[in-house]
């Protein structure tokens, strides 16, 4: 027997698979998805059990190293991350040069890319100690960079990280604390955010993770690879959908057109009208993460005493869509992004921060994939083929 790529090479065949719908680019032992059954597992553990029992950092360890950490391993991982939360003062000042109106996702990818400029130990991607420190720095600093992007957009002073707090509580304080008064973490917000971050930690070869792997396959350092992943996540068809969902729900409310009319417009494929937060390349069943997020939305809104009419619109939209032949026949269900925005909004995050929260959640998955690829001796530089459809060879005109 011979593997397919050798066969294709020997016979001169190529496949054209636009959007990589049927092409596996790698083997991976990190995350398992069965899109027809609506199953998601991290390193074999069902997502429902991970979300109910783990923390963000414990899940990160599991994804990166493949097994659950011992109590000592987790404590030292946590301590190392806390030790690296501070940004270089010059990187802190980097934010001064950016406009306050900048989208925080652009700020995030720029600042993460800039991390390479601050550390000269980034080029040897096969030195395990150097890879380890890049990973720790990213986990420690991305939430701080994200919070500074938020503060910058508000015109508020940056706070320094408080390393006595957990990963999630520190992040909440950096976003919502002020210089003027002490910040007390609301445990309901903390628990809900931890859960949402866990649900986003990995999702195998999605567009941003594939980007991280492709860039990493050139032996670019982890900061540059992850900066590219953040850029891929930004788009509304991927991570940007959480921001787009809220915009869509607000437009339905403000236009007074009603849910049924909006669904008609989606079905008529009106230009630019899609049911954001619905559909998935892999899930042809209810996204298991969406179920958990929906539960969290109910809990958080009830605990905060928030009544959000956008949640009512979302629930109605889901009901109408799930009983409509257009969506049934195409197997379109809510994805993870459909309800997250409602929770983030209730927590006090502006819509432009929603995809940034996704990026913080996804970071361990990106790292795990970068590392898995980097440790695999069979890795090759990613280099897709093309089918050339341009002009045949021709001579430069003698007269013009
Ligand atoms: N609203 C309306 N129709 C849709 C939607 C949607 N959200 N999603 C897919 N369809 C339709 C398509 O128009 C197509 O219909 P057709 O066969 O009549 O042409 C059919 O369903 C199949 O859709 P594809 O575009 O082929 O599906 P694909 O796998 O390429 O796209 C994607 C998946 C990008 C997620 C798509 O469903 C979409 O755009 N959804 C909205 C954006 C979104 O929520 N993105 C977040 C994804 S999850 C994540 O990244 C975390």
pLDDT digits (tens, 9 = 90+) for 268-277: 999 989 999 9
| Closest protein CA for atom 46 of ligand 1 | 238
Query: What is the rounded CA–CA span in Å between residue 368 and residue 375?
Result: 11
Give the ligand 1 atom nearest the CA of 279.
Answer: 37
Q: Find residue 41's DSSP bridge partners.
A: 32, 46
Report pLDDT digits (tens) over 216-247: 999 999 999 999 999 999 999 999 999 999 99
Give the ligand 1 atom nearest the CA of 274.
Answer: 1
Q: What's the N-to-C CA distance of the chain in angstroms?
A: 56
Are 47 and 199 contacting, i.e. CB atoms less than 8 angstroms apart?
yes
Tell the burial category of 93 from Cβ atoms under 10 Å away from its Cβ (0-12, 13-18, 19+): exposed
Instruction: Determine whether the shortest distance from the Cβ of 311 to ligand 1 is under 6 A.
Output: no
Which own/partner pairs from 310-316 qualify as long-range (CB within 8 Å, at least 24 positions apart)?
Answer: 310/246, 310/249, 310/250, 310/253, 310/342, 310/345, 311/339, 311/342, 313/249, 313/252, 313/253, 313/259, 314/245, 314/249, 314/338, 314/339, 314/342, 316/259
3-state secondary structure at position 31: strand
Query: What is the rounded CA–CA span in Å between residue 149 and residue 129?
Result: 30
Query: What is the rounded CA–CA span in Å between residue 391 and residue 33?
Result: 42
What interface predicted TM-score (ipTM) does this complex get?
0.96
Report pLDDT digits (tens) over 40-96: 999 999 999 999 999 999 999 999 999 999 999 999 999 999 999 999 999 999 999
Q: Report the percent of the chain where pLDDT is more than 70.
A: 99
Instruction: Determine whether the shortest distance from the Cβ of 276 to ligand 1 is under 6 A.
Output: yes
Supply the pTM of this predicted model.
0.94
Does residue 337 carry a catalytic annotation? yes
Query: What is the rounded CA–CA span in Å between residue 348 and residue 16?
Result: 45
β-strand 31-34 against 39-42: which pairing, if any? antiparallel
Instruction: Determine whether the shortest distance from the Cβ of 362 to ligand 1 is under 6 A.
Output: no
Give the CA count within 13 Å in the CB-facing half-sphere of 274: 15
Does residue 280 carry a catalytic annotation? yes
Instruction: Determine whether the shortest distance from the Cβ of 64 to ligand 1 is under 6 A.
Output: no
Catalytic residue among 150, 200, 203, 280: 280
Instruction: Give the model's pLDDT for residue 2.
Output: 67
Tell the burial category of 323 from Cβ atoms under 10 Å away from its Cβ (0-12, 13-18, 19+): exposed
Q: For residue 26, count other CB atoms closer than 10 A to its CB.
A: 16
């Amino acid at each position: 027997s011979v593997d397919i790529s050798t066969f294709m090479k020997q016979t001169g065949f190529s496949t054209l698979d636009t959007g990589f719908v049927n092409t596996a680019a790698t083997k991976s032992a990190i995350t398992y998805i069965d899109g027809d059954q609506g199953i998601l597992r991290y390193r074999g553990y069902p997502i429902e059990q991970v979300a109910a029992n783990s923390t963000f950092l414990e899940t990160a360890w599991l994804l990166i190293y493949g097994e659950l950490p011992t109590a000592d391993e987790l404590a030292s991982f946590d301590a190392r991350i806390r030790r690296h939360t501070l940004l270089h003062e010059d990187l802190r000042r980097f934010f001064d040069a950016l406009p306050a109106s900048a989208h925080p996702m652009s700020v995030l990818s720029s600042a993460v890319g800039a991390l390479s400029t601050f550390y000269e130990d980034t080029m040897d991607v096969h030195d395990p100690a150097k890879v380890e420190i890049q990973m720790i720095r990213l986990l420690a600093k991305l939430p701080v960079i994200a919070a500074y992007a938020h503060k910058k957009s508000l015109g508020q002073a940056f706070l320094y990280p408080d390393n006595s707090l957990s990963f999630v509580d520190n992040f909440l304080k950096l976003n919502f604390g002020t210089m003027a008064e002490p910040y007390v973490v609301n445990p309901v917000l903390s628990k809900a955010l931890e859960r949402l971050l866990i649900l986003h930690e990995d999702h195998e070869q999605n567009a941003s993770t594939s980007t991280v792997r492709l860039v990493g396959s050139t032996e670019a350092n982890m900061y540059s690879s992850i900066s590219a992943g953040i850029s891929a996540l930004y788009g509304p068809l991927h991570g940007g959908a959480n921001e787009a969902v809220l915009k869509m729900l607000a437009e339905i409310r403000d236009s007074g057109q009603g849910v049924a009319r909006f669904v008609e417009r989606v079905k008529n494929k009106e230009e630019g009208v899609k049911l954001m937060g619905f559909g998935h390349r892999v899930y042809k069943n209810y996204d298991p993460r969406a179920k958990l997020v929906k539960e969290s939305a109910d809990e958080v809104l009830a605990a905060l005493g928030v009544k959000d009419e956008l949640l009512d619109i979302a629930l109605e939209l889901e009901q109408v869509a799930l009983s409509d032949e257009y969506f049934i026949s195409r197997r379109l269900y809510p994805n993870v992004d459909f309800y997250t925005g409602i929770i983030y909004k209730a927590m006090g995050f502006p819509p432009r921060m929603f995809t940034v929260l996704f990026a913080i959640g996804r970071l361990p998955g990106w790292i795990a994939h970068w590392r898995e690829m980097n440790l695999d001796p069979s890795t090759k530089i990613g280099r897709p083929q093309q089918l050339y459809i341009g002009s045949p060879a021709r001579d430069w005109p003698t007269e013009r």
